[in-house]
Structure 1
């Protein structure tokens, strides 16, 4: 048996499906609702877009592709763990499908165990004791494809213990972005 860290997106989705089959119709409806909201709120979403890795247009395209799969495989997605996991969580579609699954699990799931399963499989583990985070600053240089981690004069990566210090450094950068690590 694989450890959680060794499971692929498809394998995680298959396990979630097998454990919570009754949640799948509501989850698929939720995905369609999210996709509709993304498409209908274009101007608002573009104005507030802050994802450095995907543009709004890429996110919209992923949502269209996922809803296309839902239409194409309709009943098969609620009846077969293989169809569900391979069609929605294989390849690039997993980016959007995983996001929807996380949001559904944390905010809409009927079963409290579903929320726990999502936390187990998808959310980063947090230290039980002192939760101390470190921060990197990315300089975007006009877009995510040109992102670079900020370094000091000697070329060493700058790692900040305080978000405030990281924010100050980001303010000095061209399109700086603070990333929690």
Structure 2
């Protein structure tokens, strides 16, 4: 195994999934909730988007939509197969949305203490996005 500093997001994501296979279903549920949250608040979010260049609202929403499609197509396998989970969510640009979701999940009370610590160790605690609008109620 490589040192943590030499690991990319895929390596870190795969290790996280292998260390916590019992948490895959809860983690997947959290990612799905984030997808629904962004879909529900899409108009307000796009209007309040501040970032220009590569990381645009359209780019972000492509990640949200792609992630949601992957969850709906493969939910059962994703919740029981760590390598599959890592392949789907930590490869390429998809890792940006996944890391965002993990950091958000780590702040929730439903996230186990050990998983929270691992998320912070592997991906940090700093949020990738700062939401600057008033979201619609988050009840799904």
- TM class by shorter chain equals 0.7 to 0.9
1:90-169 to structure 2, matched below 5 A, reads 90-123=91-124
Q: Is the 8 A contact 1:23 1:109 kept in 2?
A: no
TM-score normalised per structure 1: 0.63
Give me the whole-angstrom Cα distance separating, in 1, the residues matched to 2:110 and 2:95: 19
Give me the whole-angstrom Cα distance separating, in 1, the residues matched to 2:125 and 2:33: 26
Give me the whole-angstrom Cα distance separating, in 2, the residues matched to 1:51 and 1:25: 32
Is residue 41 of structure 2 the alignment partner of residue 41 of structure 1? yes
Q: Who is 2:6 aligned against? A: 6
Gapped regions of structure 2 (runs ≥ 5): 127-140
Which structure's relative contact order is higher, taking Cα pairs within 8 Å and 6+ residues apart?
2
Deviation of the 1:33 alpha carbon: 1.4
The size of the alignment, in residue pairs, is 125
Question: CA 1:10/1:109 → structure 2, altered by over 3 Å: closer, same or farther?
Answer: farther
Give me the whole-angstrom Cα distance separating, in 1, the residues matched to 2:122 and 2:20: 14
Q: Is the 8 A contact 2:21 2:81 kept in 1?
A: no
Q: Who is 1:31 aligned against? A: 31
Question: CA 1:21/1:109 → structure 2, altered by over 3 Å: closer, same or farther?
Answer: farther
Describe the SS at the equivalent of 1:50.
Answer: coil
Larger relative strand fraction = 1
Q: CA RMSD in A?
A: 1.9
Q: Who is 1:68 aligned against? A: 69
Gapped regions of structure 1 (runs ≥ 5): 126-181
Report runs of 4+ in structure 1 exceeding 4 Å deviation. Answer: none
Larger Rg computed on CA atoms: 1
1:80-95 to structure 2, matched below 5 A, reads 80-95=81-96
